[in-house]
Amino acid sequence: MNEHESFHHPGPSRTETDSPLLALDNLKTHFRTERGLVRAVDGVTLTLNRGEALGVVGESGSGKTVLSRSLMGLLPGSAVTSGSVKFAGQEILDLPMKQRRHLWGAEMSMVFQNPLNSLNPLMKIGKQIAEPLRLHLSMDKANARETAVALLKSVRIPEPERRLNQYPHELSGGMRQRVMIAMALACGPTVLFADEPTTALDVTVQAQILEVIGEQRRDRNMSVVLVTHDLGVVAGHTDQIAVMYSGKLVERAPTKTLFAEMRMPYTKSLLKSIPKLADPSHTRLATITGRPPDLVNPPKGCNFAQRCPYARPKCHVEEPALEPTADPNHVFACWYPVGSPEFTEREAELEAAGYVPATVAGVS
């Protein structure tokens, strides 16, 4: 039996295969706070095709989580959004909450960072998975139960029938994240937002969870937005990567291109801050000095300039726009990108001065 087929239900997007599934145009999400307007997402433009996986990468506070929540529409009341988000050709940003809710769980769903807190501790697994099925697909109890078993099986949970009557606390973290994924996939959404889905899990489980998400994406021709701080996580599991810094997109490229020829010094720093297996032990881990800028009063010029070892006076005054490279799919925002004469010159200077990227004090 092909258990995946039975979950599919016709969404609006299935008829329009040529337009991108998600198209963001100058999306802004600002929060009204006592300190002022926090520009958590500040003008993001990108598109995502059906079946494609997009990695959204950045530090904590870069706006990547707010970006994914804005696409869903799951934002607190203090949020103000502007710009445009088209889902299967239809503008969804200004949809009233009541209508938007019908997309949640049905057309788009979300997997969260912490599987230990993301499931209702007082509700049986089976009931939690059945909830969206009964809500969106009006399944009866028996049918929903059967589907829940198939879903659990598809995310490789052993003894699925038994799990239905178990509570979340009886399952391990990895199992709970699988349950979350099964629940998110229940109604056959066209796009899955996974917000740091593996951060709270240990490394072996991380790989399994990413595997399951990738498998489901291929089986269901579903799009995935994978939000993470870890370039290593997105490397093998996405088609396209968007690098975010202080609410803005600073570089976007197909995954292979990005790793082969990244242009933005920030992307490079992110990559450098991943420990590598090839490094001898006790190698100092490269880190990015300083902290992301204040989102209430962003600095003039390039937001990254203050922390960028390659910054020049212009960077502190003028903000670079997103420019395409020779490949129109690869865009970046930098005055002196990796590979430019100024960059190479500065790198030579830094090396001559014995510059080692800043380190975490005391770690050796």
From 66, 93, 180, 302, residue interacting with another protein (rule: CB under 8 A): 180
Cα–chain-centroid distance for residue 309?
27
Tell the smallest beta-carbon distance from residue 223 to another protein (Å): 16
By CB under 8 A, is residue 182 in contact with another protein?
A: no
Bridge pairing between strands 223-228 and 53-57: parallel
By CB under 8 A, is residue 117 in contact with another protein?
A: yes
By CB under 8 A, is residue 145 in contact with another protein?
A: no
From 54, 79, 110, 125, residue interacting with another protein (rule: CB under 8 A): 110
Tell the smallest beta-carbon distance from residue 139 to another protein (Å): 14
User: Contacts with another protein in 146-175 (CB under 8 A)?
Assistant: 167, 169-170
* Whole-number Å distance between alpha carbons of 203 and 253: 26
* Whole-number Å distance between alpha carbons of 232 and 84: 30
Report which of 237, 236, 235, 267 is spatially closest to residue 331, judged by C-alpha positions: 267
Q: The dihedral of CA 177, 183, 189, 193: what is its sign?
A: negative
Mark the segment that binds another protein (CB under 8 A) among 102-110, 214-222, 224-232, 336-344.
102-110
Do residues 330 and 324 touch, judged by C-beta distance below 8 A?
Answer: yes
DSSP codes, 286-340: B---S-PPPSSSPPSS-TTGGG-TT--GGGGTSPPPPEE-SSTT-EE--SS-TTS
Q: List, in order, residues 6 or more apart from 2 with CB less than 8 Å away.
A: none
- What binding mask, one character per residue, do residues 195-234 give for another protein by CB under 8 A, x or -? ----------------------------------------
From 10, 18, 34, 121, residue interacting with another protein (rule: CB under 8 A): 121
By CB under 8 A, is residue 136 in contact with another protein?
A: yes
By CB under 8 A, is residue 78 in contact with another protein?
A: no
Do residues 274 and 315 touch, judged by C-beta distance below 8 A?
Answer: no
- What binding mask, one character per residue, do residues 280-319 give for another protein by CB under 8 A, x or -? ----------------------------------------
By CB under 8 A, is residue 101 in contact with another protein?
A: yes
From 3, 25, 131, 219, residue interacting with another protein (rule: CB under 8 A): 131
Helix (H, G, I), strand (E, B) or coil at 233: helix
Residues in contact with another protein by the rule CB under 8 A: 72, 74, 101-106, 109-110, 112, 114, 117-123, 131-132, 135-136, 167, 169-170, 180, 183-184
